[in-house]
Chains A and B, each alone.
Chain A
């Protein structure tokens, strides 16, 4: 395709990408550099159904003008990024100088909200992604070897976890693992421990969230692999069979190499998706034991009274950076393959 034709061809999607992706990210970044203006406080008498009290209030009139002149708020540079609720640079430095050993340093780091969320997010990403690949591949192989009349229904049933909305799927699971739910009481019976609770222990909560993640994402890997399996060249497979390759060897030396581009693709999507894990934490009410970067953003915007746009912006930018770092190896590989083909 000529460059000129290519340009006109890509223009509509380029414009929408700039409008709906690049510009919003830019505005989030700018917002993250600002904090609210210093509030003018005054003590006033508040009265209500339960009596009167002297309380501090914000003098709204005193700050009307500055708010109109600088609606974004006060420029704070990277102050929000560095504060205790995000990268906590000074707290980390203090923890480093105060800690006699690594264990102490790590436990102090883990006490900071951002790093605690990062720890779960990374664990989740790096456990769920490979297991989703493996499980998806196994299901695809299994379904592929089924007789034709069973394939349709099996595919549909296997896709169900992905079809169910994450919030609802995890909420149903949350009720099932309740001490009085079907899974929870079964586990208590299995382990003969009437006090066993999946929700109470942080370790079990992590495991539960990870199992949910695998359950939810495996169908995606499965359907991609299944589509890939349909394109495996039959003559190569037959040649391998004539050479006496076992089923395992055929899978290892013919099918897998054929599917490598798909593995890279699923890795790419899953790394991105899993790094943004959010819904199960809300549905499982897991925030005491596990938080993620996306959950922090949600909590800043909708967690309590008042919203923290600067904080939410800073965490968003850090999340985007995290996704970028995670994807670099995969993207490098794709780029190498691309170069290889051109040469």
Chain B
């Protein structure tokens, strides 16, 4: 009797979901691995709408996606059919040939995509970008006004002057914050600042590092001048900490991720006094250079190599549903969407301005991640005043060279 009921209930569930599936796929497994923030939650929710009938959709959204993706996709069949990748993680996946070219799938199912969304490597489409992100300036207009600063800073020299004005007016002891937690975050700040000089990280066409130069030293000195206006705990500041500090009204000038804009401006976790005076503008330039000191990032869809073609197709269709213009319209303020249907908002003004001012994308180089790791480990010594900028950069190069040799990038 009991068994019968279960069978009937199960049959109804299957029937019910078959009726709901509306993505034009009838079978296949879709398993998504990705980072965890609001825009991606919207995308995976959109893809999950394809579940039903013979289609299963599962998503694992975790901050630790970078640590498991290579092992999970090396397995055959792969544990995930799609990874939501970014400039840097796509390269890591491609280094081991773990993601497949999407040209055929785009030709068949990608009619609604803009050409700029196609990420191509050597002519092959490797990912479909759906959102953009960058670090840019957040300022508190009321604090600037009280300190007698007439306009929003456009350069980091202006930021330093404004910070000094706020400090000497007695408004705040530590008006500035960057994501300077030792490790990945601090390295990202170096990369941003160094990109603002227009210099290259590597000798062209090789994996030989080239940051121990005047640009590198100037970059370190600029970072040190900025953290002098930061809370002494700055080496523990990640995005969560800086967002909390901002919402608490403890800082007036900060370089934060654009994807935090929506959360900073909404009515949760902060006061009207802070949110109404928060202004999002493009990333500052510095040192008489034209290029903003920031890196542009995209997040996009990639499809695993080690899965069946049928699953790859089902995954692609489901993901297209996840980034459809309906999803974008329904979640407009989550991020800067790249697809059709997006209307720019106040929360995205900073990222849009940074891109329009000509910031460069984060380099898609196989060995960039290794350099990023070396930077994160070695430059905090300089900021703490333990060693010279030259020594810190020499350490970075030595650490990178040892690590890149192990990775096979250098002989």
A273 in the interface (beta carbon within 8 A): no
| Contacts of B220-274 to chain A: CB distance below 8 A | 231-236, 238
A44 in the interface (beta carbon within 8 A): yes
Cα of A296 to Cα of B207 in the assembled complex, Å: 24
Chain A: minimal CB distance from B304 (Å): 14
Chain B: minimal CB distance from A311 (Å): 6
Task: Mark interface residues in A27-52 (1 if CB within 8 Å of B CB, else 0).
Answer: 00000000111110101111111110
B360 in the interface (beta carbon within 8 A): yes
**A195 and B380 form a contact (CB under 8 A):** no
Range of interface residues on chain B? 35 or more
Q: Which residues of B contact A51 (CB under 8 A)?
A: 361
How many A residues have CB within 8 A of the partner chain?
57
A307 in the interface (beta carbon within 8 A): yes
| Contacts of B91-131 to chain A: CB distance below 8 A | 91-92, 94-97, 116-123, 129
| Contacts of A299-320 to chain B: CB distance below 8 A | 299, 301-308, 310-311
| Contacts of A191-245 to chain B: CB distance below 8 A | 195, 197, 199-200, 202
**A36 and B406 form a contact (CB under 8 A):** yes
B36 in the interface (beta carbon within 8 A): no
**A48 and B365 form a contact (CB under 8 A):** no
A113 in the interface (beta carbon within 8 A): yes
Contact status of A304 and B360, CB under 8 A, knowing A36-B407, A50-B296, A200-B232: no
Q: Which residues of A contact B205 (CB under 8 A)?
A: 43, 56
Total A-B pairs, Cβ < 8 A: 185
A84 in the interface (beta carbon within 8 A): yes
Contact status of A302 and B67, CB under 8 A, knowing A45-B122, A56-B365, A58-B366: yes
B21 in the interface (beta carbon within 8 A): no
Q: Which residues of A contact B207 (CB under 8 A)?
A: 39, 41, 56
Cα of A259 to Cα of B384 in the assembled complex, Å: 46
**B70 and A307 form a contact (CB under 8 A):** yes
Q: Which residues of A contact B411 (CB under 8 A)?
A: 38
**A305 and B92 form a contact (CB under 8 A):** yes
**B206 and A48 form a contact (CB under 8 A):** no
**B395 and A48 form a contact (CB under 8 A):** no
Chain A: minimal CB distance from B208 (Å): 11
Q: Which residues of B contact A302 (CB under 8 A)?
A: 64, 66-67
Cα of A39 to Cα of B398 in the assembled complex, Å: 20
Q: Which residues of A contact B64 (CB under 8 A)?
A: 302
Chain A: minimal CB distance from B381 (Å): 7
A324 in the interface (beta carbon within 8 A): no
Q: Which residue of A lies closest to B131 (CB)?
A: A49
Q: Which residue of A lies closest to B115 (CB)?
A: A47
**B236 and A305 form a contact (CB under 8 A):** no
Task: Mark interface residues in A279-314 (1 if CB within 8 Å of B CB, else 0).
Answer: 000001111110000000001011111111011000
B338 in the interface (beta carbon within 8 A): yes
**B364 and A199 form a contact (CB under 8 A):** no
**B235 and A285 form a contact (CB under 8 A):** yes
A60 in the interface (beta carbon within 8 A): yes
B377 in the interface (beta carbon within 8 A): yes
A41-B207, A111-B381, A288-B380 given; 17 more Cβ-contact pairs under 8 Å: A36-B406, A39-B408, A39-B409, A47-B119, A51-B361, A56-B366, A57-B94, A80-B406, A83-B402, A111-B387, A200-B233, A200-B234, A286-B236, A302-B66, A302-B67, A304-B184, A306-B407
4 A-B pairs closest in CB distance: A305-B369, A200-B232, A288-B182, A44-B122
